[in-house]
Structure 1
């Protein structure tokens, strides 16, 4: 039997380190033994410069990346072709794909929420803290795509400000040490200790130089930028979700995607490999993180295309159900919007379609009588209507991702 060829690394400069000393405060909240275990010497990360680095992409890795980019572009074209470029459902389809990506990215941070609660949160009708956090991540993604053409520090701060809107340090680089680990008391023993606060801005300046390059395959560019961002950990909180939004800013800004592929769903299927790839990047081999993003891209394109098809077929069935309603009725304009927002109320329709209350209520009645919507509260006031078919498809997709993991 022949031997497999050696797996060549994608070499990057490994991170350096800076030594510090940590003392757990005697504030009455930690035991003496906990203070003793948490007090001592630690080493923070000093990110290696990436901005002007040369990269020797191994041939087989370059082929893997090219294949992944091809299927991503095919997914993008499929979404438009399945509905038609002028179809009023294309915008809502983009919205639901963006929301699916945001939910998967949030789930990587253990923020899990079902499609119903997320749709309710978009109407400010949910009491779920996780749902509100995912809606904030949706706003972060929207900001990332809106600002994709000019990824400067202000743009990245704006993304973070959307994610943590209302928090004291939203949209601000951190002023304290942060780490990835189980202990909130001390960085000792942490999986990753981020740079000291004074090292963050120089590292971000280098990252911004790297983001401005145009000499790399888009998926490689996005994977390396993400790994560097997570190494810097520039914020006190929300680094993972902001860093994955940055990926989509690059995929969009560099022209690979016009809609949102659920790449985080692909990462979510193997979190251990994703975490190990970030560790390998810091040790000097970027190949694993590029491979993880290529794998996640293929997963996103394949499963995302099925989700687009399922939602488009649901829309076709709904059009048949609505066939008895006159073509100029508002219900026909509401129908494609339900893909992007499968729970609605009269106020939402009034705002979105700029129609009077009575017109919105009539459309809801027609959609309910046609079996498309169901009133979900049983109340006489503050009612909401839901599309159980679309909610079921979105929950089924999330369940598929969980099973894959």
Structure 2
């Protein structure tokens, strides 16, 4: 049986349901919530054969090559800048890698309806006043980084670590723990009876996750096909009370790093998925019916869009950086010059953050920020002088333009 003929299709089982007598509900809702409900039973996929059409597989391989090329291009760009600035390559690469990671985290969060603009994220990153959405996206950055760092040892435990980083402090989500209750998707009903999808009963989750990991560590599958199916299976298992989509997309990046498709960057694949979320969710439904090709096609299209938009973002940030170096009179190696790469990654700073980034005395950090302000590179936020925040608006504009290009359209 091929994958497209149903090998990956879910089954169903009947489970008893006990209504909460104290829960407020209409008579219709209470009648709907009576009796047993149907929960999904995920296929065991660890050793399943995976077959997709030749055209889809060829496109997936082209997408992987494009991701790898983009990763190498940014690495070469950092190397050229390092030679000019007299810095090491890692120092020059870090800001671009970090900004791409943040755009991926923001896009992944927006798929789940958690939206925060570039300015709010920049302020949240320095613990300036920020709303709850910005804080959640900032936590997603940490979760994404945690997953990629553990790419060589993908396991249930490493996935739990990413979830813990994402939702630490949000006890309703049981951060870092597999769920112990039934969850359901696509309905505000008081029970799973009227939901559009009911993931497996929690008693099945741990075994299903072990099976998924056995699939993830296989080495016989085309990379993007492998990633897409693993992601869809993760979303089908839905192992957590909350954060499943965001953690499920960190898994994709861990697998890309593990396969050496990416070595330096987190390519903003979620930004590509965000463009048409309806097609993405439809593809997950098709996967649960046993057809793997739609979700593979979604990741192929998303990868091409991600690389195209990522290239444009990097080019715009390089243009901003070149303009800064032309306008800043400070000598090479000065604290003000050393702050410039930091501003690409973190366009909001205080003097204290400038001191930490450059390692100079507080008075020298103050002078560096003042030099950047005099050159029109940063502007003060607000009128207060105590713990003043300075913002690099050109970077904010480039990040907002990226978000506009990839904005949700489906």
TM-score of the superposition, structure 2-length normalised?
Answer: 0.94
- Give me the whole-angstrom Cα distance separating, in 1, the residues matched to 2:356 and 2:190: 47
Query: Does the alignment pair 1:249 with 2:254?
Result: yes
Which of residues 362, 373, 377 in structure 1 aligns to 2:378? 373
Number of matched pairs:
397
**TM-aligned CA deviation for residue 13 of structure 1:** 2.8
For the residue of structure 2 that corresponds to 1:125, the secondary structure is coil
Alignment match, 2:314 = 308
Which of residues 213, 217, 220 in structure 1 aligns to 2:218? 213
For the residue of structure 2 that corresponds to 1:22, the secondary structure is coil
Query: Does the alignment pair 1:59 with 2:54?
Result: yes
Q: Residues 261 and 300 of structure 1 are in contact (CA less than 8 Å); yes or no, is this contact kept in structure 2?
A: yes
Which of residues 294, 304, 314 in structure 2 aligns to 1:298? 304
For the residue of structure 2 that corresponds to 1:297, the secondary structure is helix
Matches within 5 A, 1:198-347: 198-258=203-263, 259-322=265-328, 324-347=329-352
Alignment match, 2:187 = 182
Which of residues 375, 388, 393 in structure 2 aligns to 1:388? 393
Alignment match, 2:138 = 135
Q: Please give the per-residue CA displacement for 1:222-270, whole angstroms capped at 9, x wherever unaligned.
A: 1011000000001111000000011000011110012011100110111
CA RMSD of aligned residues (A): 1.5
Alignment match, 2:124 = 121
Give ranges in structure 2 of 5+ residues lacking alignment: 83-88
**TM-aligned CA deviation for residue 352 of structure 1:** 2.9
- Give me the whole-angstrom Cα distance separating, in 1, the residues matched to 2:408 and 2:137: 21
Runs of 4+ in structure 1 deviating by more than 4 angstroms, as ranges, are none
**TM-aligned CA deviation for residue 393 of structure 1:** 0.6
Alignment match, 1:159 = 162
Residues 184/386 of structure 1: CA separation in 2 closer, same or farther (3 Å cut): farther
For the residue of structure 1 that corresponds to 2:311, the secondary structure is helix
Q: Residues 9 and 58 of structure 1 are in contact (CA less than 8 Å); yes or no, is this contact kept in structure 2?
A: no
Query: Does the alignment pair 1:81 with 2:86?
Result: no
Give ranges in structure 1 of 5+ residues lacking alignment: 1-7
Q: Residues 317 and 344 of structure 2 are in contact (CA less than 8 Å); yes or no, is this contact kept in structure 1?
A: yes
For the residue of structure 1 that corresponds to 2:225, the secondary structure is helix
